[in-house]
Amino acid sequence: MPQILDRARARVLDGGAGLDQAEILEILRLPDEDLPQLLQLAHDVRMKWCGPEVEVEGIVSLKTGGCPEDCHFCSQSGLFASPVRSVWLDIPSLVEAARQTAATGATEFCIVAAVRGPDRRLMDQMREGVKAIKEAVDIQVAASLGMLSQEQVDDLVEMGVHRYNHNLETCRSYFPNVVTTHSWEERWTTLTMVRESGMEVCCGGILGLGETIEQRAEFAAQLAALDPHEVPLNFLNPRPGTPLGDRPVVEGKDALRAIAAFRLAMPKTILRYAGGREITLGDLGTREGLLGGINAVIVGNYLTTLGRPATADLDLLQDLKMPVKSLSATF
Amino acid sequence: MFCDRCGEPASAGDHTACAAARELEPPRFCPECRRRMKVQVVPTGWTAACVEHGLRES
């Protein structure tokens, strides 16, 4: 067994402490023949420190397209020649989406808007929408609305939003290659305010943006330093019309190595499959990831693209004997 | 008629890749007039509205 796996077994599995950046890089450089042992170790870590439950979430776009920011992976930027048009979801449809999500057994419903940060109209829509959902559906509400002011953080807490997603997307050193309209540090500032508010912090990113393996390790270490409650892990799904529209997708074994590495960096976090897994990993890889450190999934469709039917993922979880985390277990 | 993914004429060029991609994407262009549609994706489906040709849904 490679030395790094022995060290990870002692430090992460036995001790519950994450690997550091240099060690994460060693993990990411392991050859393919060591991948089965690596995935098994990451799975053991997940089972010991998180348990067998899988947290299931649905997401919906409240405000799609027309974003003033230039995140190079995103089809919702108004600065690129993307075919995605601006559209708002009405409140009855939002509540129905939450109801459909809850019907899958999901405990989380995340409302997302493609904005730099929310304006008054969006905050009013959120207030009305969260209230309507809480009156009609038994599910926890999360939000992802870009960068926030302290007043907006306080308003979301008051609305009853329990978790806030704001992805750093990639490591600090590579971020300027992906976004030029705001900085990594601005995102960090919002995350700091969210944490201090008492809302749970959800922060992850996208692999396959052109970052090096070293930068992938840097990103995992920076997320570990943030210590988020949840880390959604996306794999680039190249979108037509965006600057990254012609990039290749992440190779499946590299994706699995990254999943295991992120688990070994953050043994106690909720590590969630998010967008891109369908094209990067397919059905077999999705299964391997759930046996290699993942303990949460987004089911159904994403914001502008489609996912597997929720039943496919729920059947897989049943097959793997991984119970869906219940709502009572989230309080 | 037009490809509902790329908006180019359906009879011109190869749209095999578009058809494959559409398995994991909603339509973006109206197949009748190639206007960009207003598309709303929700967890269990999608709707796509063309100002001229109305609503399509999954």
Specify if A190 maps to a domain: yes
Q: Select the residue of B7, B42, B45 nearest A83 (Cβ to Cβ).
A: B7
Q: What is the pLDDT of residues A101-138, one digit of tens each?
A: 999 999 999 999 999 999 999 999 999 999 999 999 99
A73-87: b (≥16 Cβ within 10 Å) or e = bbbbbebbebbbbeb
- Give Cα A138 distance to the centre of its chain: 22
Question: Which parts of chain B sit beneath pLDDT 70?
Answer: none
- SS3 for A249-312 is CCCHHHHHHHHHHHHHHCCCCEEEECCCHHHHCHHHHHHHHHCCCCCEEECCCCCCCCCCCHHH
Residue range A25-36: average pLDDT? 98
- A134 found inside a domain: yes
The reply to whether residue B41 touches residue A100, judged by beta carbons under 8 angstroms, is: no
The 10s digit of each residue's pLDDT in A254-275 is: 999 999 999 999 999 999 999 9
The domain ranges of chain B are 16-57
- CATH code (residue A226): 3.20.20.70
Q: Report if residue A3 sits inside a domain.
A: no
Q: Is B11 on the interface with A (CB under 8 A)?
A: no
In this prediction, residue A328 has a pLDDT band, given cuts at 50, 70 and 90, of low
Count structural domains, chain A.
1
**Å from A86 to nearest chain B CA?**
7
| Residue range A216-225, pLDDT digits in tens | 999 999 999 9
| Token pair listed for A50 | 């998180």
Looking at the domain assignment, is residue A271 inside a domain?
yes
CA distance A16 to B19: 46
Chain length of chain A: 331
Work out the burial of residue A262: count CB atoms within 10 Å of its CB; fewer than 13 is exposed, 13-18 middle, 19 or more buried.
buried
Note down the domain range covering A154: 17-321
Per-residue pLDDT of A190-200, as tens digits, reads 999 999 999 99
Contact check, Cβ <8 Å, A85/B6: no
Question: In which band, very low, low, confident or very high, does the pLDDT at A284 lie, cut at 50, 70 and 90?
Answer: confident
Q: Do A304 and B7 touch (CB under 8 A)?
A: no
- pLDDT tens for A227-243 read 999 999 999 999 999 99
Residue B51 contacts A where some CB pair is shorter than 8 Å: no
pLDDT at position A1, please? 83
Domain contains A9 = no
- Distance, in Å, from the CA atom of A288 to the CA atom of A246, rounded to the nearest integer, reads 27
Chain A residue closest in CA terms to B30: A83
- Per-residue CA distances from A213 to A33, A113, A208, A281, A284 (Å): 18, 30, 10, 18, 24
- Angle B25-A243-A309 from CA coordinates, rounded to 5°: 20
**Known binding site for [4Fe-4S] cluster: residues of A?**
67, 71, 74
Residue A282 lies in a domain: yes
Q: Give yes or no for a contact between B43 and A99, defined as CB atoms under 8 angstroms apart.
A: no
| Band of pLDDT at residue A251, cut at 50, 70 and 90 | very high
Question: Which pLDDT score, from 0 to 100, does residue B18 have?
Answer: 96
User: What are the tokens at A276?
Assistant: 């891109």
Per the CB < 8 Å rule, is A87 touching B39? Answer: yes
* pLDDT for the residue numbered A329: 61
Q: What is the pLDDT of residues A241-250, one digit of tens each?
A: 999 999 999 9
Q: Judge whether residue A276 has pLDDT over 90.
A: yes
- Residue indicated by tokens 């680039």: A236
Average confidence score pLDDT of chain A? 97
Q: State the Cα–Cα distance between residues A290 and A105, nearest whole angstrom.
A: 18
Residue listed under structure tokens 């393919």: A32
Q: Residues A108, A298: contact at Cβ < 8 Å?
A: no
User: Does a structural domain hold residue A259?
Assistant: yes
Q: Please judge whether B36 and A83 are an interchain contact, meaning their C-beta atoms are less than 8 angstroms apart.
A: yes
